[in-house]
Structure 1
Amino acid sequence: MARNPLRDQIAVIGVGSTAYGRDLKRTELSLGLEAAVKAIEDAGIDRQEIDGICGTGMTPLAMGGAGFLTLQGALGIQETTWMKNGWLGSCFVYAAEAVFSGLCDVALVVQAYTREINMSRSAANDPFRMRAAELGAAGQAVTGFGDFARRWIHSGEPYAAWMGRYMSDFGASKDVFGRVAVNNRSHAVKNPNAVMRTPMTLEDYHASRMIWAPMQMFDMDVPVDCGEALIITTAERARDLANKPVLVHAMSLGGSSVGEFYENTLGWTENSSWISLRGLWARSELKVDDLDLFYPYDGYTINAVALTEAAGFCKPGEASDLFRSAWDAEESILRLNGRTLVSTHGGGLSQGRAGGFNFYTEAVRQLRGTEGARQAPEAKTALTCAGSSFFHDPAAVVFRVE
């Protein structure tokens, strides 16, 4: 067992989300602020109690890398003792670390997204978004990150290559990816805040447009406009508040070489999915069989397959058999271990792309037991894996309620 002094010492006390939409005609700052205000109201605290802020690293909210300053000023928070920018899953981990270390007592974490201009015709025709993209490109030119990000991180070709390699190495058919997509869509149908709510079958998945062989349209997450926010504090403080505390039981990041990811030279179990999950389980008293809910990142369906295997639901290369045996044909969803539900909100594939941050907010709401007709019965534990599976700091976090 690895050292884990923060086990069950940190809690989520507030959660806020905006509407998800394909063209909300709003800025990232507007969306982030709405989510933050909702999270503060949900936590039932005065905003001046917030002394730590982790802002999204995306532009234009980041304002040249200072998203936390933009948020602090817009929210009217007078003083903070900790601030940082994060991306994808890492921002939650950074904030939990800060609260546990005492750098701050109450941390606000915000992630906001708008569709980039290269993601749709309507976005490309919007003068505001075009200008924001130009400013963002200028910032990337200064940092040297622009071409690297657009071709290696945001492009789908490397993930398509991994899909093809997985199928070749393990003799898998595309049904293993299709079941991820159909499971997420089936859950999204019940989620009023999902953008893709038309029921989908495996046949629909296979009939979707080819993007980069073997990757098809439904293997990719859906670009949206949205904002998400969480508030984190100590478990001791959380027990004095109105909401049921959702405890951070264990967490870990993981990273592997970017170049080796792109060149497809890493072995399947050497990818950062396995690094983050090995770090997580080494720090947890729980096991994969104890999980009620599972939220594997699904920027591409191959990510969710990798994380399912890395989490230990099956051995490497065995997700096809696992998904086939775990398939609930009546509801068109997965029930891993006969009961563990997967991506109850629809994930990035069907609720919409939020960098995996919607996995956190959904897990918290489900563990609180507030989701009505779509509530997972008696949910006590959840594993979220937010962030790309193959190189840049995917975060694995186990939440639980007492």
Structure 2
Amino acid sequence: MARNPLKDSLAVVGVGSTPYGRDLKRTELSLALEAAIGAIEDAGIDRQEIDGVCGTGMDPLAMGGSGFLTLQGALGIEKTTWQKNGWLGSCFVYAAEAVFSGLCDTVLVVQAYTRGPGMSRSAANDPFRLRAAQQRMAGQVLTGQSDFARRWIHSGEPYAAWMARYMHDYKATKDAFARIAVNNRTHATRNPRAAMRTPITMEDYHASRVIWEPMQMLDMDVPVDCAEALIITTAERAMDLRHKPVYIHAMSLGGSRVGEYYDNSLGWTDNSLWISLAGLWERSDVTIDDLDLFFPYDGYTIDTVGCIEAAGFCKPGEAGDLLASSWDAEANILRLGGHTLLTTNGGGLSQGRAGGFNFYTEAVRQLRGAEGERQVPDARTALVCPGSSFFHDPASVMLRTD
């Protein structure tokens, strides 16, 4: 087993979330502040105890011109000894590293999103969103332009290609993707924070509009306005706070020489998510058989298939059979191995696009055991995998509680 000196030495002690909506008409700073204040109040701490800030949606142009200083100032936090931008899964890992190393003692991690003009046709015609995008892009070089290889940042086309390649190589059908979409929507119907709460069926999935063959509308996450926040501190400090501690048991942040593009010559299992999850299992005393909750990234359903296989629930190319045998037809949800529940908040596909950061806050709430009718009975362990299967910074984080 690889070294894991941080095992259970850190804990998540506060979580905060905004509503998720398609048209909230709010800035990223407004959303970030609401989530941050919610996390601080949830933890029951004085905001001056926070001495580190990390997250996404907080680049210098996104929050009125000065990034973290804007957020810190708006919160009235006098001093911080550590700050950093992150993306998708990485911001949580960076923040945990900072507390473990002693760069700070209590870190606030915030991720804010707004539905930009590049995410939907309705947003592209919204003057409020167009003005915000123009302010954000002022002085920047536009990414992509006519270079197809760089258009991934704004488009699902490469994911559609990976989806087609997976189906070709493994003779898979779209039923695997359909079950993921239906599972997530079913859980979202019970989540008051979710943007999409209308139930869907397998038939609804197959009838949804094709965007890029073979990808359909219900294979894609839902752009929304939202923010999530959480607070990480030491396990020792957590024992004196309001809620039962949720410990960071193990974590890994993957990378490979494939870089940011999936190279078919190297194959499906050479992407960085496989490396990240292998690193996680090398450091975790919790095994796959112990998992109560699993949150595989779902920016696109093909990402979720990759996460399921990389985690070791089945061999490469076997997700379709696994999901068919794990399908609870009465409840319209998945139970991997008859036990592990997937994406109990609805994820990006149905709660709304938050880069997977809503996985962390949902996992913490479930592990605390206070989610009422939505509560997963006796949940003690959760594997969180935000970050794309195919390119940058896929994180694998094991959370547990007593």
Q: Do both share a fold (TM > 0.5)?
A: yes
User: Matches of 2:43 and 2:226 in 1, distance apart?
Assistant: 20
Alignment check: 8 A CA contact 1:60 1:132 kept = no
CA shift digits 1:350-383 (9 cap, x unpaired): 0000010000000000000111001001000000
- Corresponding letter in the other structure for 1:352: G
Structure-2 residue corresponding to 1:313: 313
Is 1:102 the counterpart of 2:105 in the alignment? no
Helix, strand or coil at the partner of 2:211: strand
Alignment check: 8 A CA contact 2:108 2:231 kept = yes
Structure-2 residue corresponding to 1:22: 22
CA shift digits 1:145-178 (9 cap, x unpaired): 5658971233111111111111111111000111
CA shift digits 1:154-205 (9 cap, x unpaired): 3111111111111111111000111100000110111111111111111110
Alignment check: 8 A CA contact 2:60 2:68 kept = no
- Corresponding letter in the other structure for 2:398: V
Structure-2 residue corresponding to 1:135: 135
Helix, strand or coil at the partner of 1:117: coil
Structure-2 residue corresponding to 1:228: 228
User: Matches of 1:140 and 1:89 in 2, distance apart?
Assistant: 25
Alignment check: 8 A CA contact 2:297 2:307 kept = yes
Shift of 1:265: 3.7
Alignment check: 8 A CA contact 1:255 1:390 kept = no
Alignment check: 8 A CA contact 1:62 1:68 kept = no
Structure-2 residue corresponding to 1:114: 114
User: Matches of 1:367 and 1:220 in 2, distance apart?
Assistant: 28
User: Matches of 1:150 and 1:43 in 2, distance apart?
Assistant: 41
Which shows bigger deviation, 342-351 or 122-131? 122-131
User: Matches of 2:2 and 2:259 in 1, distance apart?
Assistant: 29
CA shift digits 1:181-230 (9 cap, x unpaired): 00001101111111111111111100000000000000000000001000
User: Matches of 1:258 and 1:212 in 2, distance apart?
Assistant: 24
Structure-2 residue corresponding to 1:86: 86
Is 1:391 the counterpart of 2:384 in the alignment? no
Alignment check: 8 A CA contact 2:222 2:350 kept = yes
Helix, strand or coil at the partner of 1:391: coil
Helix, strand or coil at the partner of 1:118: coil
Helix, strand or coil at the partner of 1:224: coil
CA shift digits 1:116-161 (9 cap, x unpaired): 11233442233332122123333541xx756589712331111111
Which shows bigger deviation, 93-102 or 146-155? 146-155
Helix, strand or coil at the partner of 1:129: helix
Write out aligned runs for 1:205-216 (5 A): 205-216=205-216
CA 1:187–1:397 in 2, change beyond 3 Å: closer, same or farther? same
Stretches of structure 2 that go unaligned for 5 or more consecutive residues are none
Alignment check: 8 A CA contact 2:19 2:193 kept = yes
Helix, strand or coil at the partner of 2:118: helix
User: Matches of 2:126 and 2:212 in 1, distance apart?
Assistant: 27
Structure-1 residue corresponding to 2:218: 218
CA 1:392–1:140 in 2, change beyond 3 Å: closer, same or farther? farther
- Corresponding letter in the other structure for 1:346: G
Structure-1 residue corresponding to 2:200: 200
Shift of 1:71: 1.1
Structure-1 residue corresponding to 2:158: 158
Is 1:175 the counterpart of 2:166 in the alignment? no
User: Matches of 2:4 and 2:395 in 1, distance apart?
Assistant: 16
Alignment check: 8 A CA contact 2:57 2:113 kept = no
Alignment check: 8 A CA contact 2:12 2:230 kept = yes
Structure-1 residue corresponding to 2:6: 6
Helix, strand or coil at the partner of 1:11: strand
Structure-2 residue corresponding to 1:342: 342
Helix, strand or coil at the partner of 2:222: coil
User: Matches of 2:132 and 2:168 in 1, distance apart?
Assistant: 41
Stretches of structure 1 that go unaligned for 5 or more consecutive residues are none
Which shows bigger deviation, 154-163 or 261-270? 261-270
- Corresponding letter in the other structure for 1:199: P
Alignment check: 8 A CA contact 1:260 1:266 kept = no
User: Matches of 1:60 and 1:320 in 2, distance apart?
Assistant: 43
Shift of 1:397: 0.3
CA shift digits 1:313-361 (9 cap, x unpaired): 1111110110010000001100011110000000000000001000000
- Corresponding letter in the other structure for 2:193: N
User: Matches of 1:165 and 1:91 in 2, distance apart?
Assistant: 31
CA shift digits 1:203-258 (9 cap, x unpaired): 11000000000000000000000010000000000001111100000000112356
Helix, strand or coil at the partner of 1:16: strand
CA 1:269–1:223 in 2, change beyond 3 Å: closer, same or farther? same
Helix, strand or coil at the partner of 1:273: helix
Helix, strand or coil at the partner of 2:261: helix
Structure-2 residue corresponding to 1:269: 269
Alignment check: 8 A CA contact 1:55 1:71 kept = no
- Corresponding letter in the other structure for 1:245: P
User: Matches of 2:85 and 2:65 in 1, distance apart?
Assistant: 7
User: Matches of 1:352 and 1:396 in 2, distance apart?
Assistant: 20
Structure-1 residue corresponding to 2:368: 368
User: Matches of 2:9 and 2:66 in 1, distance apart?
Assistant: 29
Alignment check: 8 A CA contact 2:297 2:303 kept = yes
User: Matches of 2:289 and 2:62 in 1, distance apart?
Assistant: 39
Helix, strand or coil at the partner of 1:15: strand
Alignment check: 8 A CA contact 2:89 2:394 kept = yes
TM-score by length of 2: 0.96
